[in-house]
Amino acid sequence: MNFEREATCFARDSCSGGLGREPGVCLKWAMSAEAPALPWSRTLTHPQLAEDVPPPEDLYAGSYEMTTDCPEQGCAYGPARFAANTPLYAREDTRSPVVATITAAECVMRTGADALLSAPRRGVVLETAGQFTAGDVVYLTNYEGEGFSTIWRRGEYITFADEVVVRWDERPTDPREGYWVEVTRANGQTGWVLNPDISDQSCSVARR
């Protein structure tokens, strides 16, 4: 199999020191399929890092892709029943008080308010291409939908569409991260649910 860029091959390989983005895929960089593997370029294995400037915020709000099933408000409005018992938080934060537990049998009303929150994820660019240079330290801040993301690099935000290979650090754990939806129960109690698993959108909320 031929690849246009060594970095693409390095990113997919999981057997010869690559990034292993495709588990079980073993690739090499060579003059031909029969030729012995060449060492990966040092820009891929040991890039010289540029200045590391963290972004100004520790949490960012992203966007979601609208579909025919979710034409507006990111599917955050209307009645819903969840597939399992779901905690109702006071705020978009799993450290906030759990004000109630919504059972799988209960129907609630989604208010239309939602938030897709993520903490910045640090990465190092491994190839020089376009507006990027090997060794650039970047931070993925939020997803914008349609395959585009926003990254931070040394004082500026840049739209990013996976045009270069980046070695990302392990994703940080943040109790505010995830897709949050505000809901109101039949008794008027309102709160936030995290990454809701919706099983029914045709139920009726029995007001009390």
Tens of pLDDT along the chain (208 residues) come to: 455 689 999 999 999 999 999 999 999 898 888 899 999 999 999 999 999 999 999 999 987 654 445 544 457 889 999 999 999 999 999 999 999 999 999 999 999 999 989 999 999 999 998 899 999 999 999 887 777 899 999 999 999 888 899 999 998 789 999 999 999 999 999 999 999 999 999 999 977 6
Q: How many residues in the chain?
A: 208
Residue in this structure with the two tokens 């073993």, named with its chain if needed? 26
> CA-CA distance, 140 to 164, in Å (whole number)?
13
Backbone conformation region of residue 163, classed left if phi is above 0, alpha if psi is from -120 to 50, else beta: alpha
Using alpha carbons, list the distances in angstroms from residue 56 to 40, 65, 120, 170, 181: 34, 26, 10, 20, 26
- pTM tops 0.85, yes or no: no
Which pair of structure tokens corresponds to residue 3? 């690849």
Domain locations along the chain? 1-46, 48-208
> CA-CA distance, 57 to 65, in Å (whole number)?
23
